[in-house]
Amino acid sequence: MNEEQIKKIIDSPPEYDESKEDSYFSMFRDFFSEKMRWFTINFYIWSILFIAAAIISAIQFFRTNQTKFQIMYAAIFICCSLSIGFMKIMAFVMIIRHNIKREIKRLELRIAELSETLQNK
């Protein structure tokens, strides 16, 4: 795609264009698209594994009487909980990735327009 085609896509006529709308539905639609299927499946598998490990370590924490095992199970639970949080952050970054790319393209076009107007003066 050249610069003119990108500009025509971004600055299309004022009619309604759902692809320009930055709604949660459009972000999730992009996330669950065919291209992102491998990431979504991988994300869900790792999330289920971390949740299962956290639940098992929490159950084992309350079943054991030895302090060293309680510390170990507590550490496993905290690591699994943090991993689940990091997985959610990574999924959020992947969801907003398309919006960021779109905004970068718009900024590139604005910079190109400004450079053209400065050269013409």
- Domain spans, the chain: 33-120
The burial of 80, by beta-carbon neighbours within 10 Å (0-12 exposed, 13-18 middle, 19 or more buried), is given as: buried
* Helix 37-63 and helix 67-120, axial crossing angle in degrees, nearest 10: 150
**With contact defined as beta carbons under 8 Å apart, do 84 and 50 qualify?**
yes
Tens digits of per-residue pLDDT, 8-47?
A: 666 665 454 555 556 767 777 777 777 778 888 898 999 9
Instruction: Give the H or E element holding residue 40.
Output: helix 37-63
The predicted pLDDT at position 22 comes to 65
Tens digits of per-residue pLDDT, 67-118?
A: 999 999 999 999 999 999 999 998 888 888 877 888 888 888 888 888 888 8
Q: Tell me the pTM.
A: 0.64
Closest CA to 61 of 38, 77, 39: 77
CB atoms within 10 A of CB 29: 12
